[in-house]
Amino acid sequence: MRYNHTQSAPWYLLLVASGLAMFTGAWLVPQWPFPMILAGSGILMLFSAMSFQTLTVLDDGDALRIQFGPLPLLRKSIPYADIDTVARGRTSLIEGWGIHLSPGGGWTWNLWGFDCVDVRLKNGRRTRIGTDDPTGLAEFLKARISPEGRGHGCSWC
């Protein structure tokens, strides 16, 4: 059993618009050093847009990989052997989107929406993974951490 799901969201368009506005400002403002500051900020916004356009959750053999993309600068890997429990959940508006500490404890990786899968590790830590496929991800993880699914390590199924 394999899992590979990519979710996209329109938030990156705000970053693109901000970056383009900063480039326009850099062209229109003649006083040094403002053009350099605005151009640098515009580049940062465009890189951020390319980093937060999608959220991919996939089976990476012996671990679950979570990565924003298509420029995969931000990623995390959770070994299946470290997972204790998995449950469907919902994030709140306060928890927002992106990568950050959750008010309820642990880390949240979320791109869009409020559905998530709450992954609790054996060491007590928690990671909340935002997804538009919470049922599919939760079922996949439960199958992987079940006694029958633990450690089978095959890369072809």
pLDDT digits (tens, 9 = 90+) for 127-144: 999 999 999 999 999 999
Find, among 89, 57, 68, the residue nearest to 11 by Cα.
68
pLDDT band with cut points at 50, 70 and 90 for residue 150: low
Give the separation between CA 39 and CA 92, rounded to whole angstroms: 35
Q: What is the reported pLDDT for 86?
A: 97
CA angle 151, 155, 157 (to 5 degrees): 90
Within the chain, residue ranges assigned H as helices are 11-28, 34-51, 134-145
Query: pLDDT-based confidence at 157, cuts 50/70/90?
Result: very low
